Each structure stands twice: as C-alpha cells, then as structure tokens.
Amino acid sequence: MGKLLIAAFFVLSAQTGWSNSADSTKYELTVYSGIRTILCDSLPANTDLDLANTIMDEQPTAYIGLNLNVNWHPKFSTAIDWLIIDSYVFNNFRLSAQYNITEFFGLRAGYYSFDYFLQNEMDYFIDNYDKFFTRTITNPYIYEDDNFFQDRIKDQGFILGPVFKLEKPRFTFNLYLNWGITRHDKYNLSFVAKELNTNKKQKIVLETTKSQSPIFFPEFNLKYRFMQKRRLNLGLQIHGNIYYQDKIMNYEKTVYEWTDSNIDRLLVDSPRHRFFKYEIDIGIIFAW
Amino acid sequence: MKRAQKIILFVLLAFTVRLIISCCDCNNTVEAFDITQVEIYPIDNTGAYPQSANDTLYRKAIAFEIQVGDNQLQEFAIKKNSFSTFNELKACECVMSYKLNYSIDSITIITNRELSFIYPAKSDLSDKFYASKINWGNPGSLYQTLDELVEDINTYSLSDSRMYRFLVVLDKIYTNSDIVSFTFTFHMSNGEKIIGLSPDIYLTD
C-alpha cells in the first residue's frame, strides 16, 4: 500500500510541457497563423423562415493569433488566445485553465467567443416573403429598415474535457476532447414591405432568442523545441481543431402593420443545423 | 531670417489666425414661430418612394404632402456671427432652431365631397389617414397615426426652417367617385384653426 501511495505521488507530481524539463519555463508566447473554414447545413424551406440558412459557408480564411500560456504550477496552467480574422480587431478569443492529474492525463475548462457572417439574408427574405409571412401584402417592395451591411453573429460558450498528453524532451503532443455548451448573441433583422400601388406598409422584425446548443470541440497541438539560449526557448507549434454543434436559431417574429403600435408577435422554433468550424495553424513559440 | 523661413512663418501665422477666427459663438436659443399657412400637394405613393404628382392619383394610394409653417415657408435663418471683424473670413455657420409658439392640439381631415353613402361630404376621416416624415429618395419606415405626428411636431424643433413637411396617406379605398378633395385643419392650443384645402384630385384605377 505504501509503495502504491509513493508511486501515485510520483505520477501525480509529474510536470507538464516544457516546464517538465530541468530548465522549466513559466511563460509561453505563441504567434501563429492559419486558416479557418465554416460549413453549415442549408435545410429545405419549412413552414417559417430559418435564419440558420443564411449562415455563410466560409471558404478557407486566413487568420493570425497570439497565445499566452502561463504555467503557474507544474500541475496548473492557464492560457489566453486572441485571433484576428477578416478584420483588424481581435474579435475571436479563448480562455482556458488546465489541471494535470497525471503525466499523461489532465482536465481543461474554458470559455471562447468567435464570430462569423450571414449572407444574402435580404435575398432569402425576399425570395420567401410570400411563403413565410402574413400574406396581407401582395406585390411587396421589400427593403431593410436600417442601412444594409453584412451582418455577423457571435457565438460564445463554455467547454470542459479531458487532455491526453505525450511528452518527450523536445516534443509535446496534447489532445483535447472538449465538450461544452454554446449560444449565439442576440441578433435581429428588420425589413419593411411596401405594397406597390397602395399606401400599405408592413414591418417584420426577427429577433433571435438565446438558444443553447451542445458542442463537441476536439483539438490538438504538437510542439517542438528546436533552440534553447540561456533562459529563452524557441519552438514550433502545429495546432488544429474541429468545432461541431447542432446549430439552432430560434427567434421571435414581430409583424407591424401601418404603424409601430399595431403588433402581431410569434415565437418561431427553427430546426437544428449541422455547423462545423475547422482551424489549422502553425506558429512560433517563445518560452522563458 | 532666410526668405524660405519667412514664407513658412507667414503661412503658419495665416493658418493660426484662420483657426482662431473660425470658432463660432453661436446663440443656441430656439426661436418661436406661428403657423399661418398650410399647403397641400398630391403625392404619387404607388411605388417604393413617394414622388411628386399632378392632380391625378391612383385610387388605392391617395396621398398628400403637407407643408405647414409661417408666411415665409422655406425661409433660412440669418447666420449670426459673433465677431465684428474678419466676418468675411469665417467658415462657421450657426444653425438656427425654431419651434412652434403654440402647440398643435389635433389635426382633422374632412372630405369635401361625398365619398359614399357611409361617408357623405363633411365626414371626418382623420382616423383613416396615417402620416410619416417625407424622405425623398428613401422609402422610410412605417407610418404614424395623426396623433403621434402631432406629438412629434410639438416636441421637436426645426433647424434652419420654419416649415414642417410630412406625408399623409389614406389607408384604403372609401369611394368609387372620380374626384376627391379634403380639408386639413390644424387646431392650435390658442384656439386658432389653420385650414388647408387640397386641390380636386382625379382618381384612376
């Protein structure tokens, strides 16, 4: 029993990453660049407008990012990631904390946020106006109530999952099997329909409700240290992930006729869509 | 001092003077005015945007532009300059604000001709009309009721103008006759009634 406890103590005391080595590092700063792809199912028209049908399939899009990993303790580390994608602001980020239970196994929890575009929602609306909305207007001229610009949605969620680790003097491989729950921020679309040849106007406002979806978010990274000068270590990292969720975009539909005070409201449940996001990137690690 | 330096110094000095005297000392008071005049114009509202029309309107889209203000409709304010010198160099322009001396209690719209058996001449159709601000070249959002429009006019002040312009539209067909005309009455809080008559409008299907 005593030997078992001693063995358990040594296993649990095993250090992680480069901090294992004699020249342990507390901070790791990784500058990386990669590509992201987003794919979302487009489902056939149902009885009402399906906002998830307007999510833009994103062709591989380049991004750059920064990761700061701090090993507070041989067993505990935290990390923060910022990504710039399709704009000049860090509009995607991730926070995580990892606890290493053994040399080969740990747990990680985190929070993330990222955004993506809708496309052709105006066309989708116009094409389906007759089918999805109260048919009190025939021959409508439809326009967006506010100035039109391409809309984007932000998803954010929490993840938790096991970490499987493999460490060699120069290599570290981590596999994260993250599970979690996500929801998108509130988002609304507003259209006005003017009936041609009459004075009649109708306004339709679609405001998404907060709909949670489960996610599966497996991720890996492979680190290779190729240089060590005094306290500074340099390395390379390859990182990739697949993000999957059953996307649902329920919304409240409000129809106004003639004036803002003449209102008809309806809650719309939308079907679930398969939503994938793939990322792969390569970066340089500075550790000290 | 070298010649080039003198030129640069002169240019800098000129910019500085220009910058200082460009500052405006605007008087922010809001001047009051009285409604003395109402003008009514037919509007073609069949398309996406309201457009000027002649005396013929589509039966399902009866609409008017109403201009209401004082005797000098479209008058622009006199720019007030606070500096007594260098007036000609100043770039600033003070915007004058105007509001109604007496608020509007209500707007009524009466048909001058018989529309049908239900709506004989002198019928009050005020609750059949909606209103909106006119944005030429812009389809605009939804309409307001006339009461909401009155509240808006009484609340907001005008900039560089003593004229309110808005669109009123009839909600549906009330007549099979070929000619309509309406009387628009502004009931002021001082008891006055300012009246505007629409021209005779010929209706087509």
Cβ-proximal residues to A258 (8 Å cutoff; 6+ apart), any chain? A200, A201, A202, B130, B142, B143, B171
pLDDT, position A242: 96
Phi, psi of A117, deg, nearest 5: -100, 150
Q: Decide if pLDDT at A6 tops 60.
A: no
Tokens representing residue B198 in the block: 């629409």
pLDDT at position B22 is: 59
Q: Which two tokens stand for residue A268?
A: 């719309």
Q: What would you measure as the largest C-alpha separation in chain B, in angstroms?
A: 94
B71 vs A29: which has the higher pLDDT: A29
Residue A19: what pLDDT? 44
The pLDDT of residue A13 = 36
Q: How far is A206 from chain B (nearest CA, A)?
A: 16
Establish if B60 touches chain A: CB-CB under 8 angstroms: yes
Give the Cα separation of A210 and A251 in Å (integer).
Answer: 8
**From CA A238, how far away is CA A240, in angstroms rounded?**
7
Looking at the complex, does the CB of residue B47 fall below 8 Å from at least one CB of chain A?
Answer: yes
CB pairs under 8 A between A and B: 51
- Beta-strand pair A273-287/A27-40: antiparallel
Minimum-distance CB partner of B169 among A196, A197, A199: A199
A interface test, pick of B132, B138, B141 with most A CB neighbours within 10 Å: B141
Chain A residues near any Cβ of chain B (below 8 Å): 141, 143, 145, 192, 194, 196-201, 203, 256, 258-261
For the stretch A225-249, pLDDT in tens is 888 887 888 999 999 999 999 998 8
B142/A199 touch (CB, cutoff 8 Å), yes or no: no
**Closest approach of A191 to chain B, Cα-based (Å):** 9
Query: What is the overall mean pLDDT for chain A?
Result: 84
Residue count of chain B, please give it: 205
- Which residues in chain B touch residue A139, judged by CB atoms under 8 angstroms apart? none
- Per-residue pLDDT, averaged over A244-268, amounts to 88
Query: Which residues does residue B145 pair with via DSSP β-bridges, in sequence order?
Result: B130
Distance from CA of A200 to the nearest CA of B (A): 7
Q: What are the chain A neighbours of B47 within 8 Å (beta carbons)? A: 141, 196
Task: Name every chain B residue with its beta carbon within 8 A of the beta carbon of A201.
Answer: 141-143
Tell me the sheet residues that pair with A167. A172
Residue A17's pLDDT band, with cuts at 50, 70 and 90, is very low
Residue A234, C-beta contacts closer than 8 angstroms, at least 6 positions apart: A225, A226, A227, A228, A284, A285, A286, A287
**Beta strands B56-58; B201-204: pairing state:** parallel
pLDDT at A34 over 90: yes
Separation in Å, CA of B98 to nearest CA in chain A: 27
Which of the pair, A218 or A260, is modelled with greater confidence? Answer: A218
Task: Find chain B residues with C-beta within 8 A of A199's C-beta.
Answer: 45, 60-63, 130, 169-171
Chain A: residue whose CA lies nearest to B149: A259
- Give the CB-side neighbour count of residue A201, counting CA atoms within 13 A: 28
Q: Which of A143, A256, A259 sits opposite B145 (nearest CB)?
A: A259
Nearest Cα residue in chain B from A201: B142
Task: Quote the pLDDT of residue A1.
Answer: 44
Give the minimum alpha-carbon distance from A48 to chain B in angstroms, rounded to a whole number: 23
Please give chain B's pLDDT, 205 residues, in tens: 677 777 888 888 877 766 665 566 676 778 888 888 899 999 999 988 888 888 899 999 999 999 988 876 555 444 444 444 555 455 566 778 888 889 999 999 999 999 999 999 999 999 999 999 877 767 778 899 999 999 988 988 888 788 888 999 999 888 888 999 999 999 999 999 999 999 999 998 8
**Cβ separation B143–A201 shorter than 8 A:** yes
Whether the pLDDT of residue A95 is over 90: the answer is: yes
Using the beta-carbon criterion (under 8 Å), do B139 and A141 form an inter-chain contact?
yes
Which residue of A198, A204, A259 to mutate against B (max B Cβ within 10 Å)? A198
Q: What is the pLDDT of residue A57?
A: 84
Burial B83-95 (b: 16+ CB within 10 A, else e): eeeeeeebeeebe
- Residue B10 is predicted with a pLDDT of 80
Q: Starting from the edge strand earliest in sequence, which strands make up the sheet with B56-58, in order?
A: B56-58, B201-204, B179-180
Confidence grade of residue A269 (pLDDT, cut at 50, 70, 90): confident
3-state secondary structure chain B: CCHHHHHHHHHHHHHHHHHHHCCCCCCCCEEEECCCEEEEEEEECCCCCCEECCCEEECCCCEEEEEEECCCCCCCCCCCCCCCCCHHHCCCCCCCEEEECCCEEEEEEEECCCCCCCCCCCCECHHHEEEEECCCCCCCCCEEEHHHHHHHHHHCCEECCCEEEEEEEECCCCCCCCEECEEEEEEECCCCEEEEECCCEEEEC
In 3D space, the residue among B118, B113, B146 whose CA is nearest the CA of residue B130 turns out to be B146
A112-136 pLDDT, tens digit per residue, is 999 888 887 777 777 777 666 665 6
**Cα(A172)–Cα(A166) distance, integer angstroms:** 6
pLDDT bracket for residue A10 (50, 70, 90): very low
CA-based radius of gyration for chain A: 25
B135 touches chain A (CB under 8 A): no
Nearest to A164 by CA among A99, A102, A104: A104
Q: Which residue out of A148, A199, A201, A259 would a mutagenesis test of the B interface target, given it has the greatest number of B Cβ atoms within 10 Å?
A: A199
| Tokens, residue B97 | 């604000």
| Dihedrals phi, psi of A282, to nearest 5 degrees | -130, 140
CB atoms within 10 A of CB B156: 12
Q: What is the pLDDT of residue A148?
A: 56
A61 contacts: CB under 8 Å, gap ≥ 6? A35, A36, A37, A85, A86
Dihedrals phi, psi of A6, to nearest 5 degrees: -65, -45
Which residues of A fall within a CB distance of 8 Å from B142?
192, 201, 203, 256, 258-260
Contact A200 B63 (CB under 8 A): no
Contact A279, A34 (CB under 8 A): yes
Chain-centre distance of CA A217, in angstroms?
Answer: 9
Measure the CA–CA gap between A227 and A225, rounded to whole angstroms. 6
* Reported ipTM: 0.79
End-to-end CA distance of chain B: 83
Contact B170 A143 (CB under 8 A): no
Whether residue B139 and residue A194 make contact (CB cut-off 8 A), yes or no, is yes
Question: B57 forms bridges with which residues in the sheet?
Answer: B203
Residue A21: band (very low, low, confident or very high) from pLDDT cuts 50, 70, 90: very low
